[in-house]
Structure 1
Amino acid sequence: MARVFVTGGSGFIGRALVRRLVGAGHSVGALVRSEAAAAKVSALGAEPVRGELTDPLTWQDALRGREVVFHLAAETDITADRDRHELVTVRGTRAAVDAARHAGVPRFVHCGSEAALLAGAPLVDVDETAPLRPDSPAAYSATKAAAEKIVLDADAPGFATVSIRPRFVWGPHSSLVDGLVAAAKAGRLAWIDGGRHTTDVTYVDNAVEGLVLGWQRGRPGQAYFVTDLHRVTLRAFLEAHFAIHGVDAAVPDMDAETAADQIPVPARWFLGQQCTLRTDKAVIDLGYRPVVDHATGLEAVRKAMAAARV
């Protein structure tokens, strides 16, 4: 079994990844900043390593002898200011790459996002040839693009880098879905032009499957989209979650022109634009297939909510 390391291991995707790796018998170290984060990864069977993401000297020694670094740490709050995104997502990624190279880790897997391609236009059946957009007006998108470029540009003999890009990661206790549920309950959510555009989504265990396959089979220097291979309309998908969470407030409609004045990017793009991705490359190169289907994923969300109410 392998010795692996994870940044962002206490986050939503990170916890699922750590659980999968530990369950497969791997020895897992996870970077943490706080006692709360340490407790989360310890409970999953990983070894917490205290350090500051942007200061690799505080944790790079823990990478020696590791076979892979999974880099999931990033600023996920889209309302955070540009400096915060630059610090955590861009500087943090550069630090993680530098630490892994310095420690002699042979493989580096980055958790990317389709958001790195967003600059205002919808993504319609795009593949990995679509350009990264570090020039995006949205700080989250621009910095995710810059971070992925750092990772892929670092690919070199003896240091293989891969980026896995899940879209709209969901599942039990998803921070993204929970945030949308809270906004709907508070009357702070609106359907833009009805919210009936088509979108790809990725159940958390399917995102983890992509990350693990990226480690095992990904071609160096390449990026891969992974999704549920089950496209949905955003409104129907979220209304299914709202029903599970007991949201009884009606979500109003808003036209695109009004939304442009009231909803900042990238939230406006997320709520009002189609986002469909081609996964041929992951299917062919990685042998990717979803490990959890859509109905099973929704049932897992229902069970988690029922358990939380007990």
Structure 2
Amino acid sequence: MHASAPQTLPLAGKTALVTGVSRRRGIGYAVAAKLASLGAHVMIHHHRPHDLDQPWGGDDLEAVRSGIRSALTPDARFADVGADLADPRSALEVIAAATSLTGALDILVCNHAKSGDDGSILDMTPERLDAFWDVNARATLLLTAEFARLRASTTSAPRRPGDRIVGGKPYPEPQGHVFWMTSGQIHGPMRGEVAYAASKAALAGLTPTVAAELLELGIIVNTVNPGPVNTGYLDPDTTDRSLEEMDRFLAETPFGRVGAPADPAELIGWLSTSAGSWIVGQVLTSDGGFSLG
């Protein structure tokens, strides 16, 4: 019998930064573990104080680190950085920390999000809207800008409407991947989550513009809407909402369940490889048909 050939690792030699990785039940953790299993060096960002204010609470960060390390392939590197992305200075610091892991940064997954302390349109205040915008939208844009600057020539003049970023195309392969995470606001109302939906809608709306600009640098930008994913907020003992109608509703959905963190992680893992590199500038709903129910 012949020994089986070793499987290739499509992300071997690539370095990935995944933000918002502070809980083993979270999407960010699943994404980081998936990218690690594909051969990537992985840097994770976390901000545990946010979780401590939520009904599901914080996780053991050392257990989070250990779990990602266990998913790494031989010789792959791992590190983590803590930062409050509500601080506009943190984007540069987090990107710099990620770049220092191997000297390069190839994949950026902006998974971080502020949740909690939201409300209906009647509950909106400038402070509440700003808090969600600062973390969910502004930080994502600033992280993306710093990631892109690693590959862009410097210019002192701001670009005018219609001006293209000058890159070095054509490119034999993608020069980087950026993933944003949005929500289901495009498929229906999100009652009581106006500030969250507003900040995520901004990312969905901006996806084609930023994708078109960064494609000039060979960077591929896509946004993933994972639909409802139970990261603890749909468990009876840690939920932040009423679950009275959930069982009945789920029985009418295609698979009879909400998503698991591994579901969007599989999509992001695939899109990060050469196999998924022809998909550009899309807002991709990965919800098992939940929005069709």
- Paired residue for 2:116? 77
- Is residue 167 from structure 1 mapped to residue 227 from structure 2 by the alignment? yes
Tell me: CA distance 1:183–1:227, structure 2 relative to 1, closer, same or farther (3 Å): closer
Partner residue of 1:13 out of 27, 33, 36: 27
Write the deviation string for residues 118-140 of structure 1: whole angstroms up to 9, x where unpaired. 3479xxxxxxxxxxxxxx98222
Structure 1 residue 225 displacement after superposition: 1.3
Question: Is the strand fraction higher in 1 or 2?
Answer: 1
CA distance in 2, matches of 1:112, 1:203: 16
Cα distance change on mapping 1:183 and 1:57 into 2, 3 Å? closer
Of Structure 1 and Structure 2, which has the larger fraction of its residues in helix?
Answer: 1
- Post-superposition Cα deviations, 1:140-182, rounded to whole Å, max 9, x if no partner, equal 2111111233444211222210111111113xxx22222x444
Shift of 1:60: 2.1
Counterpart of 2:292 in structure 1: which amino acid? T
Residues 1:48 and 2:48 are matched in the alignment = no
Closer, same or farther in 2 for the Cα pair 1:198/1:103, shift >3 Å? farther
Q: CA deviation at 1:208?
A: 0.7
Matched residue, 2:75: none
The answer to whether the Cα contact below 8 Å between 1:41 and 1:47 also exists between their aligned partners in 2 is no
Amino acid at match of 1:98: A
Alignment gaps of 5+ in structure 2: 1-11, 50-58, 70-77, 120-127, 152-174
Aligned residue for 1:245?
none
**Counterparts in 2 of 1:188 and 1:106: CA distance versus 1, 3 Å:** closer
Give the deviation of 1:93 after TM superposition: 1.2
Deviation (angstroms), 1:108: 0.3
Residues 78 and 118 (structure 1 numbering): CA distance in 2 closer, same or farther, change over 3 Å?
farther
Task: Report sequence identity in percent.
Answer: 17
Q: Secondary structure at the match of 2:179?
A: strand
1:57 paired residue number: 92
User: After superposition, where does 1:221-240 map in structure 2 within 5 Å?
Assistant: 221-228=281-288
1:32 corresponds to 2:46 = yes
- Give TM-score scaled by structure 1 length: 0.58
| Cα deviation, residue 4, structure 1 | 1.0
Q: Mark the CA change 1:76 to 1:93 in structure 2 (over 3 Å): closer, same or farther.
A: same
Partner of 1:28, secondary structure, is strand
Q: Give the partner amino acid of 2:202.
A: A
- Give the Cα separation in 2 of the matches to 1:108 and 1:50: 20
Alpha-carbon distance in structure 1 between the residues aligned to 2:111 and 2:261 = 13
**Aligned counterparts of 2:226 and 2:203: Cα–Cα separation in 1:** 15
Superposed displacement of residue 23, structure 1: 2.6
Coordinate RMSD, CA, aligned: 3.4
Q: Taking structure 1 as reference, are residues 33 and 197 closer, same or farther at Cα in structure 2, changes over 3 Å only?
A: closer
Shift of 1:70: 1.0
Matched letter for residue 92 of structure 2: L
1:265-280 maps to which residues of 2 (within 5 A)?
A: 275-276=291-292
> Alpha carbons of 1:120 and 1:40: their partners in 2 closer, same or farther (altered >3 Å)?
closer
Residue 139 (structure 1) aligned with residue 195 (structure 2): yes
Judging changes above 3 Å, is the alpha-carbon distance between structure 1 residues 61 and 83 closer, same or farther for their aligned structure 2 residues?
Answer: same
Helix, strand or coil for the counterpart of 2:284?
strand
Amino acid in the other structure paired with 2:31: L
Alpha-carbon offset, residue 66 of structure 1? 1.4
In structure 2, the CA distance between the partners of 1:93 and 1:209, relative to structure 1 (3 Å rule), is same
- Taking the aligned partners of 2:96 and 2:190, their CA distance within structure 1 comes to 41
The offset of 1:48, in angstroms, is 0.3
Q: 2:143 aligns with which of 91, 96, 113?
A: 96
Aligned residues: 213
**1:107 to 2:177 alignment:** yes
Contact 1:169 1:204 in 2 (8 A): yes
1:164–1:19 CA distance, 2 compared to 1 (3 A): same
**Shift, 1:196, TM fit:** 7.2
Residue matched to 1:68: 107
1:109–1:215 Cα contact (<8 Å) kept: no
Question: In 2 relative to 1, CA 196–26 (structure 1 residues): closer, same or farther, beyond 3 Å?
Answer: closer
Q: Is the 8 A contact 2:207 2:282 kept in 1?
A: no
